[in-house]
Amino acid sequence: MKKPKISVIGVGYVGLCTAVAFASKGYTVTASDVDAEKAAKINQGIPPFHEPALQEKLKATIQNGNLKCLANRTEQAVSETDLTFVAVGTPSKPDGSIDLQYIEAASHDIGKALQQKNAYHLTIIKSTVIPGTTQNTVKPILEKESKKKCGADFGLCMNPEFLRQGSAFQDTMHADRIVIGAHDKKSGDTLENVYKDFYSTHTTPIIRTTLSTAELIKYASNAMLATKISFINTIANVCEKIPSADVKTVATAMGLDKRIGPLFLDAGLDYGGSCFPKDVKALISCSKTFGYYPELLEAVENVNKTQPLKAVQLCKQQLGNLKGKSIAILGLAFKPNTDDMREARVTPIIHQLLKEGANVTAYDPAAIPTAKTIFNNKIQYANSTIECLKNADCCIIVTEWDEFKKLKPED
């Protein structure tokens, strides 16, 4: 099969990993992003975020000419290619619903480019959007701008991503499943053939379904994982009240049950990041618009809100009044192997510690530059674990970086 030329709109975690993955497999890829500085960095082989294994592949695909990144030139990227992945952000609004302005803007630009094209072109939405968005928002914009008919003149698919930050590139290269929501058979067949070529060396399950089902699969998957995290943290809170009850043993035994499995059963400060909090809120909001009140998801979110502050409560149990006390924070990113602090559990912890009058010193292998944009000079920043722990009255380990796992009590 002749490899189609690919464009990717938006080069955040999903977009850049998608672009580099296809380019590394020999596809010609043109990316575009509204951020000119980000595009320039990518063209120099420098990813704009910390993600293991990505920089080496990015540099190689830029050097061999398989990948280039344009600055805010969506129409050009579409005009030069055969299919387009849309991976722009869908941030939360204050009420929990998602902001579709970037999806809409990309759709307008793609539609304008389609008007000038004679050949069939497939548009694939990878951004996380609520059920009905691809059909009721993206499709009408594409048809209006292009003056063409979806399903006849151009194709449309919804293809959610299931990447984990910290292993996003590897997850792209070795996906455990591919979900294709197709507007019509030709659209679905076109994208399925691309993925069969991409994953030609190993079998990756491909699920074919409707646009709305594909959209919901992403939300349901993330909500389920968030539920497991909030559940085990609820059990941890119960264990604290029961003499000699150990949540780690409870979780290990639960995880051996094949119906449950061991993943996402590590009790701690609950979930953060760019996906779980946003997606749970969006699913709650979406459910309510369809007339259903999702009590379980509301409970999951409530646990997530309250769990981080339990770390501060434990400090107070040990130290009493925290005013003037030195508290060491190990880990700032919402998870290891990333510098992302969006919805990081450490943020409410630090804010509460500062409110209590504590002196906070923090260390993270990757996220200190990000933290400085959030906390400025309100806290101190250490250059190593040992420096962070020096003269500390108490330590809170927030992020499970490997180097923190090696710490001993005497450290």
- The DSSP output letter for 135 is I
CA end-to-end span of the chain: 58
- How would residue 274 be classed by pLDDT, with cut points 50, 70 and 90? confident
Q: Which pLDDT does position 50 carry in this prediction?
A: 85
Q: Please, where in the chain does CATH 3.40.50.720 lie?
A: 6-209, 219-405
Q: With beta carbons less than 8 A apart as the criterion, state whether 370 and 341 touch.
A: yes
- Percent of the chain exceeding pLDDT 90 equals 90
pLDDT tens profile 32-42 = 999 999 999 99
Arithmetic mean of pLDDT, 322-332: 96
Give the chain's mean pLDDT. Answer: 95
Task: Quote the CA–CA distance of 137 and 79 in Å, as a whole number.
Answer: 22
Q: Which pLDDT does position 173 carry in this prediction?
A: 93
Looking at the domain 219-405, which fold is it? Answer: Rossmann fold (3.40.50)
Task: Quote the CA–CA distance of 167 and 150 in Å, as a whole number.
Answer: 35
- The DSSP output letter for 86 is E
Examine the pLDDT at 409 and tell me if it is beyond 80. Answer: no
Examine the pLDDT at 93 and tell me if it is beyond 70. Answer: yes
Q: Which pLDDT does position 1 carry in this prediction?
A: 67
- How would residue 23 be classed by pLDDT, with cut points 50, 70 and 90? very high
Arithmetic mean of pLDDT, 103-129: 97
pLDDT tens profile 205-247 = 999 999 999 999 999 999 999 999 999 999 999 999 999 999 9
Examine the pLDDT at 105 and tell me if it is beyond 80. Answer: yes
Q: How many residues are listed for the chain in this entry? A: 411
Examine the pLDDT at 71 and tell me if it is beyond 70. Answer: yes
Task: Quote the CA–CA distance of 82 and 70 in Å, as a whole number.
Answer: 17
What is the C-alpha radius of gyration for the chain, rounded to an integer number of angstroms? 23
Q: Which pLDDT does position 54 carry in this prediction?
A: 92
Examine the pLDDT at 294 and tell me if it is beyond 70. Answer: yes
CATH for the 6-209 domain, from 3.40.50.720, 2.30.40.10, 3.40.50.300, 3.90.1150.10:
3.40.50.720
- How would residue 15 be classed by pLDDT, with cut points 50, 70 and 90? very high
Examine the pLDDT at 196 and tell me if it is beyond 90. Answer: yes
Name 320's Cβ contacts closer than 8 Å, sequence gap at least 6.
none
Arithmetic mean of pLDDT, 148-175: 94
Q: Which pLDDT does position 159 carry in this prediction?
A: 98
Task: Quote the CA–CA distance of 347 and 216 in Å, as a whole number.
Answer: 29
pTM: 0.90
Examine the pLDDT at 115 and tell me if it is beyond 90. Answer: yes
Task: Quote the CA–CA distance of 370 and 334 in Å, as a whole number.
Answer: 11
Examine the pLDDT at 153 and tell me if it is beyond 80. Answer: yes
Ordered DSSP codes for 325-384 = -EEEEE--SSSTT----TT-THHHHHHHHHHTT-EEEEE-TTTHHHHHHHHTTSSEE-SS
Q: Which pLDDT does position 271 carry in this prediction?
A: 87
Examine the pLDDT at 272 and tell me if it is beyond 90. Answer: no
Q: Which pLDDT does position 270 carry in this prediction?
A: 82
Is 275 assigned a catalytic role? yes
Catalytic residue among 17, 275, 286, 395: 275
